[in-house]
Amino acid sequence: MVNRNYSLGQLFQIKSCTNCQTCAQVCPAVAGSLDGKLSAIYRITTLDRIVKARTAFWRKLFRIKEPTAEELRAFSDTVFRCTLCGNCRQVCPVGIDLTQLWHSARRDLVDSDAYPEKIDIIRENLDESHNVFGEDNEDRAEWVEDIPDAPEHGYIKDRADLIYFTGCVSSFFPMAQQIPMALVKIFDAARIDFTLLGEDEWCCGFPLLGAGLGGRLDGLISNNINAVRAKGATQVVFACPSCYRMWQEHYPCEFEVTHVTEFLSRLIKSGRLLLKELDLTVTYHDPCDLGRGSGEYDAPRDIIQSIPGVRFVEMSNNRERCSCCGGGGNLEMIDSKLSADIAANKMKEVKATGAQVVVTACQQCVRTMTTYAKRNKIPIEVMDITQLIHKALAGKDRPDSD
């Protein structure tokens, strides 16, 4: 066994941990499970031991043995029970890129055959169906049929300048399909010329990265790039922060890629979307991949505060320090109880604001928080920002706007 999944820089970073434990204090997996073995500090200490035990020089010097299959399985149990939320990386005072380290550790564990069985399901679904749920990919835009006055082309045109890349969760998961349904209506209201890719859209590849299968991205990436090229488009817009991040960081820079929060914020500022009054108190949850992952904190707040009548309140942990909803890192597939326990802590924070609605900008955050709120009869509405804007388009006219 070798340490080929870690760069030289990462091997140095592992050594630079000062054991300060700051990472453990902000980890949603630790708070949700009350298990210190899920913390970054426990994991980095274990990784240091494994890396040493795989190096002949250290083995001879300290008379240690190579890590056993059992040790690797125990390590896997902590590495895959993590939402990849990046909060540990955010607070680490010596600047260790912990999120990248967890990705490398997942690749290592897949190569070492010490990974959760569910990873095989992700791999098979993507190989066979090109979406993370193993659904028939021809049905990717089936949600359009639920829009009463959808145009005849079903939002799939031969050519358009702008592509709305829907993403697997919003395409196939009924609770999340409200997001694309709202967004196409917003585009219609602003007269945006856009198209969906329909069955030509394949998974962006983000779930493969989180599964430690980053070596299998090429086919997905080239399919999606060719599909966008075939429409003659120059821009791609995403409501999913993970697809957006994936295109920003792993796709060739051929098109302008924008998250919908930035796109809608621009439309509102330019006067192309007229929003009516909503009498609501709203708080905002920063999705990990949009906030810490892509640095977008202002656009969603600008949008919310541009709606007349809306009162905006922040959660105690917001922006760079926003706590995860429990939906990232494929955790829901691997340990659904831990994912729900993390969501419980998130909803406590939401409740403490006194808001009627928690708005976010991610279909997976919507799913995780809605599922928890419904199961536990918490009277707080969870909405994606597209749903909030859609509601404001139909909202009550203000007396002075007639």
CB 143 within 8 A of CB 341: no
Strand partners, 384: 360
Kindly tell me which of 19 and 270 has the beta carbon lying closer to ligand SF4. Answer: 19
In the complex, the smallest distance separating the C-beta of residue 360 from ligand SF4, rounded to whole angstroms, is 17
3-state secondary structure of 259: strand
Kindly tell me which of 40 and 119 has the beta carbon lying closer to ligand SF4. Answer: 40
What are the helix and strand counts (H, E) for the chain?
A: 20, 8
CB 140 within 8 A of CB 200: no
Kindly tell me which of 23 and 181 has the beta carbon lying closer to ligand SF4. Answer: 23
In the complex, the smallest distance separating the C-beta of residue 285 from ligand SF4, rounded to whole angstroms, is 15
In the complex, the smallest distance separating the C-beta of residue 141 from ligand SF4, rounded to whole angstroms, is 33
Rg (CA), the chain: 22
Query: Hey, how many other C-beta atoms are within 10 angstroms of the C-beta on 252?
Result: 9
In the complex, the smallest distance separating the C-beta of residue 98 from ligand SF4, rounded to whole angstroms, is 6
Cα 188 from Cα 393, distance rounded (Å): 11
Kindly tell me which of 23 and 383 has the beta carbon lying closer to ligand SF4. Answer: 23
In the complex, the smallest distance separating the C-beta of residue 320 from ligand SF4, rounded to whole angstroms, is 13
Nearest in space to 240 (alpha carbons), one of 172, 151, 318: 172
In the complex, the smallest distance separating the C-beta of residue 287 from ligand SF4, rounded to whole angstroms, is 13
Nearest in space to 296 (alpha carbons), one of 308, 304, 288, 305: 288
Kindly tell me which of 18 and 305 has the beta carbon lying closer to ligand SF4. Answer: 18
Kindly list the residues in this chain that would bind ligand SF4 in the complex (CB under 6 A). 17-23, 26-29, 40-41, 44, 82-88, 92, 94, 96, 98-99
Kindly tell me which of 93 and 252 has the beta carbon lying closer to ligand SF4. Answer: 93
Q: At what angle do helices 298-305 and 385-393 cross, to 10 degrees?
A: 20
State residue 263 phi and psi, 5-degree precision. -65, -45
Cα 315 from Cα 97, distance rounded (Å): 26
In the complex, the smallest distance separating the C-beta of residue 243 from ligand SF4, rounded to whole angstroms, is 20
